[in-house]
Copies of this chain bind each other. A is one copy, B any other.
Amino acid sequence: MTSDPARRMTQALRDGGVRVTRQREALLKVLTEAADHPDAAELHRRARALDDSLSLATVYRTLSVLEREGVVLRLPLENGGARYEVADAPHHDHIVDLDSGQITEFRSEKIEQLQREIAAELGFEIVHHRMELYCRKKT
């Protein structure tokens, strides 16, 4: 059984005709083990512990491959700069804590439904969407 998520993902890549290299495995491991939402530089830092030679350029190249393969999700935030997460969980949106920078996930079927209705009314079909609530902890 492919119980290990990283293993399942490498398999998905191989099936997609993408080579699974040492550096890609390192990055996948770091991604699956990340509880937070790291940016490219942070992923690079962490993955280097597993593969010292890994370059930042490859991190970027790999992230875009993984995104294309549907294995990771890139979330570009307000300040420019993007954060990444594995695309295993069902779709969700994000709350960004303005003070700590921490990201909380949430999901609302109702909102998704409303979005679809609104787009349809205007003659559009949603390909994907983004929603971020920039918040502060309630006192």
Contacts and interface: CB of A to CB of B under 8 A. Distances in A.
Given A106-B118, A118-B108, A122-B104, A127 B134 contact: yes
Contacts of A137: 123-125
Interface string A96-119: 011000001010101100110011
Number of copies of this kind of chain in the complex: 2
User: Chain A's interface: helix, strand, loop or mixed, by majority?
Assistant: strand
Interface residues of A, number: 34
B111 A95 contact: no
A127 B120 contact: no
A35 interface: no
Contact of A76 (B78, B120, B125, B128): B78
A95 to B, nearest CB: 6
A110 B117 CA distance: 12
